[in-house]
Amino acid sequence: MMTQNADKNRSQVHFFCMDDIVPKDHLLRLIDRAMNWSFIYELVEEKYSLDYGRPSIDPVVLIKIPLIQYLYGIKSMRQTIKEIEVNVAYRWFLGLELQDKVPHFSTFGKNYSRRFKDTDLFEQIFSHILEQCYKWKLVDPSEVFVDATHVKARANNKKMRRKLAKREALFYENLLKEEINNDRKERGKKELKDKDDDSSGGAGGTEKEVKESTSDPESGWFHKGEHKQVFAYSVETACDKHGWILGYTVSPGNLPDSRTFKGLYDKIKEIGIKTLVADAGYKIPAIAKLLIDDGITPLFPYKRPMTKAGFFKKYEYAYDEYYDCYICPNNKVLEYSTTNREGYKEYKSKGYLCEKCPYVGRCTESKEKVKVITRHLWEEYMEKCEDIRHTLGMGELYKKRKETIERLFGTAKENHGFRYTQMYGKARMELKAGLTFACLNLKKLVGILKRKRKLEGYFSFFIGIVSNFQFA
């Protein structure tokens, strides 16, 4: 039956309760039940004055607005405010009536720049939500997966300048320098002098030439694939085997994963890690030593040798630990020569012997016919990593990366607007990462609690059973 009551229905006056309109199983309702948001008042108490100025917007409302944005992957704060104006569930989550005016889209940005700037508020919010996951005994930090993803910065690729920047200090630089000098001293060689402050950008200098965005100088020039290059941020993340995000750091996109690992590791090293799983970008002697010395089992994948095709691989040269030398495939000795500045011991063959060797064409291209093999001072840690990789069950554990950390990145980019950022600066990128990962943990938490019936009637159900049993 056809009716023409649309105009009539639009003009009707109704009396209703907003709580009845929002579905009982709505995501925001489940999140509101799972979390007590009053903890935000304690975090921002020092940033507000009770005696001066006009009454401010509720800080919980201020935090919930960007939380809605990242929870539903809304592109901008302007669009988020438009969605809140017409979405009853959003208004209910914020505690706004239908007649209440929604804050202007610039409100959060102004509060961030004036009130929350240079604070760790959003990292504390992420940590508090993670603590709730721990309280439900859902997190298992014994096996941790680490990886990094790149988020495109709000920067025009054509607006850049070239500048000389100081080379980033390695977290193991001082320790390695000490061990290099000790090794050279034991072998009767002079200690290495400090590098000259050469601004030419050469190998021995402390400065290098980099591309810097004029729009967002804190981002880094990232090679995305073979052809595309963009300004981006690197977001390094750790999660457990169940997919709970345990920590994160934000760095310029031009820094490799091995350089930024220490910042993330310092945040998570005390949570009880037994095995840490990472890809080949983290497979360096310094990280292997750091983890093994701390009693953590590192699990890295196989890394293909970078030897030129047709030449002997490094593993075809046998290392003699007792005599500290290498034996080539023709059973000739490569003796120790020196320890270089990068921490590698150099072993060289005798050119006059190699000239007559039938394998010289597969061994070296040197004019002097001298073969050089390097071995890092911490090479034994890399050998331990290889032994761990071949341990029973480690292959299956490494395959879980695609089910954990890689899946998290895919979900964040596909559903939560994590492919790029609309904000400038590293601090705002940290805000985005913190709230996005907090949303991922929240969604996972309420989903599990819903399935286990721990949000509604869980305790009353078992209390009733116990009571009936006692009075029976």
DSSP of 415-437: HS--SB-SS-SHHHHHHHHHHHH
Are residues 358 and 425 located together in one domain of the fold?
A: no
**Is 470 contained in some domain?**
no
pLDDT (0 to 100) of residue 194:
77
Are residues 328 and 365 located together in one domain of the fold?
A: yes
Are residues 245 and 285 located together in one domain of the fold?
A: yes
Q: Which residue type sits at 109?
A: G
Are residues 368 and 400 located together in one domain of the fold?
A: no
Task: Give pTM, 2 decimals.
Answer: 0.89
**Is 82 contained in some domain?**
yes
**Is 454 contained in some domain?**
no
Give whole-number Cα distances, 108 to 61, 100, 104, 444, in Å.
10, 17, 8, 26
Strand, coil or helix: what is 236?
A: strand
Nearest CA-CA partner of 68 in 124, 108, 119: 108
Bridge partners for 334 per DSSP? 326
Q: Angle at CA 66, nearest 5°, toward 452 and 109?
A: 160
| Tens digit of pLDDT at every position of the chain (472 positions) | 456 676 777 777 777 788 888 888 899 999 998 899 999 999 888 888 777 767 778 889 999 999 999 999 999 999 999 999 999 999 999 999 888 899 888 888 888 888 888 888 999 999 999 999 999 999 999 999 999 999 999 999 989 999 888 877 889 999 999 999 999 999 988 988 877 655 444 444 577 888 999 999 999 999 877 778 999 999 999 999 999 999 999 999 999 999 999 999 999 999 999 999 999 999 999 999 999 999 999 999 998 888 888 999 999 999 999 999 999 999 999 999 999 999 999 999 999 999 999 999 999 999 999 999 999 999 999 999 999 999 999 999 999 999 999 999 999 999 999 999 999 999 999 999 999 999 999 999 999 988 876 545 545 544 555 455 444 4
Distance of CA 177 to the CA centre of its chain: 28
Contacts of 199 (CB under 8 A, 6+ apart): 164, 205, 206, 207
Are residues 150 and 293 located together in one domain of the fold?
A: yes
d(C-alpha 133, C-alpha 361), whole Å: 60
Are residues 393 and 377 located together in one domain of the fold?
A: no
- The answer to whether residues 278 and 300 touch, using CB atoms and an 8 Å cutoff, is yes
pLDDT (0 to 100) of residue 66:
93
**Is 363 contained in some domain?**
yes
Tokens of 446: 């309420």
User: What is the tally of helices (H) and strands (E) in the chain?
Assistant: 18, 13
Are residues 209 and 340 located together in one domain of the fold?
A: no
Domain-terminating residue out of 381, 411, 439: 381
Tokens of 328: 């080539």
**Is 444 contained in some domain?**
no
Domain-terminating residue out of 365, 381, 397: 381
Domain-terminating residue out of 395, 413, 430: 430
Are residues 343 and 414 located together in one domain of the fold?
A: no
pLDDT (0 to 100) of residue 45:
85
**Is 445 contained in some domain?**
no
Are residues 329 and 356 located together in one domain of the fold?
A: yes
d(C-alpha 258, C-alpha 286), whole Å: 9
The count of other CB atoms within 10 Å of the CB of residue 231 is 26
**Is 209 contained in some domain?**
yes
Contacts of 450 (CB under 8 A, 6+ apart): 25, 30
pLDDT (0 to 100) of residue 452:
75
Sign of CA dihedral 249, 250, 252, 254: positive
d(C-alpha 384, C-alpha 292), whole Å: 9
The count of other CB atoms within 10 Å of the CB of residue 175 is 15
Residue 143 DSSP code: E
Q: Angle at CA 441, nearest 5°, toward 408 and 439?
A: 90
pLDDT (0 to 100) of residue 465:
54
Q: Is 271 exposed, middle or buried (0-12, 13-18, 19+ CB in 10 A)?
A: middle
Sign of CA dihedral 57, 61, 62, 65: negative
pLDDT (0 to 100) of residue 200:
46
Q: Containing domain of residue 336, as a range?
A: 314-381
**Is 466 contained in some domain?**
no
- The answer to whether residues 139 and 271 touch, using CB atoms and an 8 Å cutoff, is no
Tokens of 147: 């990886």
pLDDT (0 to 100) of residue 44:
87
Number of domains in the chain: 3
Are residues 259 and 322 located together in one domain of the fold?
A: no
Are residues 372 and 389 located together in one domain of the fold?
A: no
Greatest alpha-carbon span in the chain: 102
Alpha helices in 190-332 (DSSP H): 257-268, 285-293
Q: Angle at CA 228, nearest 5°, toward 224 and 233?
A: 40
Are residues 233 and 337 located together in one domain of the fold?
A: no
d(C-alpha 420, C-alpha 75), whole Å: 10
Strand, coil or helix: what is 165?
A: strand
